[in-house]
Amino acid sequence: MPGPLKTEGIVLRSLRYGEADRILHLYTPDRGRVSAIAKGVRRARSRFGGRLEPFFRVALVLYEGRSDLLTVTSAETVTGHARLREDAGALDAAGRAGDAVLRLFGDGEPQAPVFHLLCAELALLDADPAAATRANQLAFRLKLLLAAGLSPQLGSCASCGEREGVAGFSGAAGGVVCTACEAGSFALDEAAHAFLVEALGAPLAATPAAPERALRQAERAIAETVEHHAGVRLRAATARA
């Protein structure tokens, strides 16, 4: 139904289009991912100013016509995340966070928890760009998995339910596995298991630290879960240690 749509959104990508326009990939609480065109935004005197750059959180009015591409008619800054955008490490982490959201969640599905999680991650990176660690990126992905209903089983063997002797992780089984069920799994250290459990339970700002080897295993556990259950590959989480 054509008409105006008022929503908040986070700009995830901004692509040049035509002479002076941009096509934006936005993440919104009510519609999930939407694409919109901002006309004339690249002109010096655009009424949008610099507000439609990546990682701005904006209050938008979008006009919805007959095509899938909405038109931005108004944009006000909620948060510009200026510190984040000046720090290479934080910018890179924000880019990978947005990319994971775009790969895991499709168009047009309401995903308020994902929107709020992304807002929390960007706010954290803006308040403290040094928070852009690999552990932080993995914690964000774990919480995305939770929002997608793909949270790995960590309390007992995902194949047989055994609580003792859990020593591996299997993306196909959907979580940790015991020694009897370890076919197709890879070894998961105690520290990696603890990281997965604690990072899922803690706020993003309180993400636990873990040794490099444990983080490598945790990243593999997340990647294999996503590949098996969502058919999606995530970019590597390469951030400050």
Which residues of the chain form contacts with Zn ion (CB under 5 A)? 157, 159-160, 162, 178, 181
DSSP 228: H
Shortest Å distance, C-beta 177 to Zn ion: 5
Nearer to Zn ion, 29 or 168 (CB): 168
CB nearer Zn ion, residue 18 or residue 165: 165
Could you write out the DSSP letters of every residue in 43-89? STT-TTTTTTSTT-EEEEEEEE-SSS-EEEEEEEEEE--HHHHH-HH
The sign of the CA dihedral 123, 125, 130, 135 is: positive
Q: Which one, of 221, 49, 218, lies nearest residue 136 by Cα?
A: 218
**CB of 226: closest distance to Zn ion in angstroms?**
22
Least gap, CB of 157 to Zn ion (angstroms): 3
Nearer CB in complex with Zn ion: 173/239: 173
Q: Which two tokens stand for residue 53?
A: 């750059």
CB of 172 vs Zn ion, minimal distance in Å: 13
Bridge partner residues of 10 (DSSP)? 27, 57
Cβ proximity to Zn ion: between 179 and 238 the closer is 179
